[in-house]
Structure 1
Amino acid sequence: MKLRVLWVGKTQEEWVRRGIDEYSGRVRRYLALEISEVREEKGTVAEQMRLKEGERLLKTLSKGARLILLDEAGEQFTSTGFAAFLGRERDHGTQELVFAVGGAYGFDDAVRKAAYRTMSLSKMTFTHQMVRPFLLEQIYRGLTILNNESYHH
């Protein structure tokens, strides 16, 4: 299974980039991982921004990719539950699993309709920048759980 993490906009903060680098390297020990950025729309109303960003995001998806949106109203997992989800996707032959982090105003309806599911990392609100390393760390944690390694206590 190939894993892809897709987000809207460039990563601004150095500490966020360091976290992304650290955990993407760890994830790559287990699965092929691609990280893609979609250009952020600027200078218009929120609805137009979501529409344009959504169009760009959807164009990047390969046929058969399973799109999972990170959204505050999405399904929440425990770490072991998330590991089990990753394991089921892997074991059922999912070719590409794509996690998408939206821009400042979230996702357009067309992107929501294309999604396989939505998930939330927490009931708390995080910036769309902070979610990037958090997501990669949880993916890494899930993979170590699947491999019965000691990272998760």
Structure 2
Amino acid sequence: MQIDIIAVGKVKEAYLRDAIAEYSKRMGRYCRLNVIEVADEKTPDHASEGVERQIRAKEGERIAKHLRDGAYVIALAIDGAMLSSEGLAARIDELGVRGVSHIQLVIGGSIGLDDAILRRADFKLSFSRMTFPHQLMRVILLEQLYRAYKINAGEPYHK
């Protein structure tokens, strides 16, 4: 299985880069993982909805260049479906059984994802109704993907 994480912005904090590297290494025994970063746009303080929409559109164009035909696209969105760790594992397993060999997970920037990307998504996933820093979200997502593969392999992983 090929897993791509397409994320807006660069991770600046060393501790987050270290965590991303660690989970990426661990996932290597289960899938081919590719983390793709696209440039983010500077969002002015107190930006109008119109300005934010333009920013999301620019970031969305950059994301769209990496979306592949035939890939199953999962957009991380606050209004998406919430799954348990077991539920995410089951979805990944079910996609594999259906013959899906490429999953792309998309993490938007600080003001979210463009509507065009959300419409392109095959599934919208939410980790919480809370807002998380998009850089930290990469670590959380990688940890949950790693946990899902451990669950699907029948291997122990702390609860």
TM-score tier after normalising by the smaller chain length: over 0.9
Query: Structure 1 counterpart of 2:116, which letter?
Result: A
TM-score by length of 1: 0.95
1:11: which partner in 2? 11
Q: Contact 2:82–2:128 (CA<8 Å) still a contact in 1?
A: yes
Q: Contact 2:76–2:107 (CA<8 Å) still a contact in 1?
A: yes
State which of 45, 68, 73 in structure 2 corresponds to 1:67. 73
Q: Contact 1:75–1:120 (CA<8 Å) still a contact in 2?
A: yes
State which of 82, 85, 93 in structure 2 corresponds to 1:76. 82
Q: Is residue 48 of structure 1 aligned with residue 60 of structure 2?
A: no
Q: Is residue 103 of structure 1 aligned with residue 109 of structure 2?
A: yes
Query: Structure 2 counterpart of 1:41, which letter?
Result: E
State which of 118, 124, 127 in structure 1 corresponds to 2:124. 118
Provide Cα deviations, 1:40-71, integer angstroms capped at 9, x if missing partner.
Answer: 12266211110000011011112111111111
Q: Secondary structure at the match of 1:130?
A: helix
Q: Secondary structure at the match of 1:82?
A: helix
Quote the RMSD (CA, aligned, Å).
1.2
1:136: which partner in 2? 142
Query: Structure 2 counterpart of 1:21, which letter?
Result: A
1:43 and 1:29, CA in 2 relative to 1: closer, same or farther beyond 3 A?
same
Provide Cα deviations, 1:107-151, integer angstroms capped at 9, x if missing partner.
Answer: 111111111010011233211111000000000000000001111
1:93: which partner in 2? 99
Q: Contact 1:144–1:152 (CA<8 Å) still a contact in 2?
A: no
Provide Cα deviations, 1:55-114, integer angstroms capped at 9, x if missing partner.
Answer: 110111121111111111111111111110110111111121000100011111111111
How far apart are the structure 1 equivalents of 2:32 and 2:85?
21
2:47: which partner in 1? none
How far apart are the structure 1 equivalents of 2:115 and 2:67?
16
How far apart are the structure 1 equivalents of 2:35 and 2:66?
12
TM-score by length of 2: 0.92
Report how many aligned residue pairs link the two structures: 153
Q: Percent identity?
A: 41
